[in-house]
Amino acid sequence: MKAILRIIIMAIPFIVNAGEYNAAEFYSQSADYIVSPQNLMEMKHPFIVEQLKIVEAAHPQIFLREVGQSVERRSINMLTFGQGKTKVLLWSQMHGDEPTATAALLSVYLYFARNFDSPFVQELYKNLTIHSIVMLNPDGAQRYQRRNAQGIDINRDAQRLVCPESRVLKGIKEDINPEYGFNLHNMGGRETAGDGGKLLNIALMAPPFNKGEEASPTRDRAKQLVVEIKRILDQLIEGHVAKYKADYMPRAFGDAFQHWGVSTVLIESGLTDNTDPH
């Protein structure tokens, strides 16, 4: 989880050109904000709700609200930080067996709370409004399964919107109209990056918005963000970062968000070694 926590903290400044900051310092400090259990499979909905309340209470400028409910009436919740013009939307665990980014988002907001007066966090607070849907698929998370309680892959429901969870995500997009989106996932923990044999820590992609995978101002912004993130990560975890490859899928939310005008980055997180699931 440390990996995706680090990448979220390091990615956000590029959106507003937040000036110089010490990426290595953030990299080394990120472990201090981990609140998740060692075994992320144990991180069920009641634990997340409890932790969300703790994060909200950590600072008066962090806001928590229920934005919808799952098939089985579990709450779907969103954290918000910042008062800036540029809006960012992150969402985690649309696949119930991919909990890494959910844990990371809790830690990101805890970092904001504990470092609110720092110049870096103040610049983000003044320039961005950062919304995060934490655990979009709580029913799947309860079972530690990819699909929701209807047996539907939420990430193939961007067009039909059969699932209540899908409607929540689309509704939040319509409500806040973000400029940037981060679609947060897990990948297999034993994949390697390129021919070097190193474990793949992070894979990045700016999803296409059409079958021709053409350029557009929206996708170009996402690609620029991917380039900057990879440039910094290569200085810290060289050889552990790769480009994620996938064909255009109009039913997938990342591709759909790109089509809807939100500059969207897919982040797939893995492991940096063979022992640490965080």
pLDDT per residue as tens digits for the range 144-198: 999 999 999 999 999 999 999 999 999 999 999 999 999 999 986 556 566 666 7
Strands (E), 85-173: 86-92, 128-134
- Whether 234 is covered by a domain: the verdict is yes
Say if CB 49 and CB 77 are below 8 A apart.
yes
Per-residue pLDDT at 276 exceeds 50 = no
* Residue 108 domain-assigned (yes or no): yes
Highest-pLDDT range among 24-33, 181-190, 258-267? 258-267
Looking at the predicted structure, is the pLDDT value of residue 18 above 90? no
Residue 200: inside a domain, yes or no?
yes
- Residue 11: give its domain's CATH number: 3.40.630.10
Does any domain span residue 278? no
Q: Which domain holds residue 204?
A: 2-269
Mean pLDDT (the chain, rounded): 88
Domain contains 230: yes
Candidate from 19-28, 120-129, 195-204, 208-217 with smallest mean pLDDT:
19-28
Count of the separate structural domains present in the chain: 1
Q: Which of 21-35, 52-66, 132-146 is predicted least confidently?
A: 21-35
**Which residue is associated with the tokens 């060289």?**
238
Q: Is residue 48 part of a domain?
A: yes
Q: Is the pLDDT of residue 226 over 80?
A: yes
Phi, psi of 268 (to 5 degrees): -105, 120
With respect to residue 274, please indicate whether it lies within any of the assigned structural domains: no
Q: Is residue 276 part of a domain?
A: no
Residue type, 129: T
At 64, the pLDDT band (50, 70, 90 cuts) reads: very high
The answer to whether 51 touches 42, Cβ cutoff 8 Å, is no
